[in-house]
Amino acid sequence: YMCFSALWSSDGSQVICSSYGAFNGQPALWSLPPTGGEPKILLASGKDNGQADVFSPVAAGDKILAFVGQNTASGQNISYTLQQIDAAGKASKLRDEEFDSTAVIWSAWAPDASGIVIQRAGSDPNQNTFVFLPASDAAAIELKLRGQGTPVWGAPGA
């Protein structure tokens, strides 16, 4: 399987991989032990030979939080929803909003996985709006930032 984004599970026992475009039997999200072994599929490929996309995965306890999108029509823009994926591979929405690829590609999770900063595309790419989305149904918070690029969490002044 191809792995475009790798992260550790919360307990450090697994490496979790995201494919960024699963199709033709390629899983969208899977894990494997760091010492080797067989991969375990956490989220299968797209339905009806479609494409499943997983962006910005983060381990949060025994679940994985990520943006998940589904595309079944060639050339169709994919919209993504923030979802949680349990150990059995069941994905459920955390929020009802749908987001485009700009929002999910350049995003950054809070260190405690309580939410994620995304971008809403503006008319000028350098004027994207940064928004904090809690990993719940709580209200989104528009940040007083405009720009483009991946935000990074850190201590003030660091």
Establish if 155 belongs to a structural domain. Answer: no
Determine, yes or no, domain membership for 158. no
pLDDT at 41: 82
Are 65 and 83 within 8 A, CB to CB?
Answer: yes
Within-domain flag for 157? no
What pTM was estimated for this model as a whole? 0.81
Q: How far apart are CA 15 and CA 59, in angstroms?
A: 10
Q: Could you give the number of structural domains in the chain? A: 1
Three-state secondary structure readout of 4-16: CEEEECCCCCCEE
- Domain with 89 in it: 5-147
CA distances from 59 to 86, 96, 127 (A): 10, 21, 30
Q: Is the CB of residue 42 less than 8 Å from the CB of residue 30?
A: yes
Residue 60: inside a domain = yes
Mean pLDDT, to the nearest integer, of 142-154? 81
pLDDT tens track for 35-73: 988 888 888 765 555 556 788 889 888 899 998 887 656
95-146 tens-digit pLDDT = 999 888 878 888 899 999 999 999 887 777 677 888 999 999 999 999 988 8
| CATH number of 38's domain | 2.120.10.10
Q: How many CA atoms lie within 13 A of 146 on its CB side?
A: 6
In a domain, 99, yes or no: yes
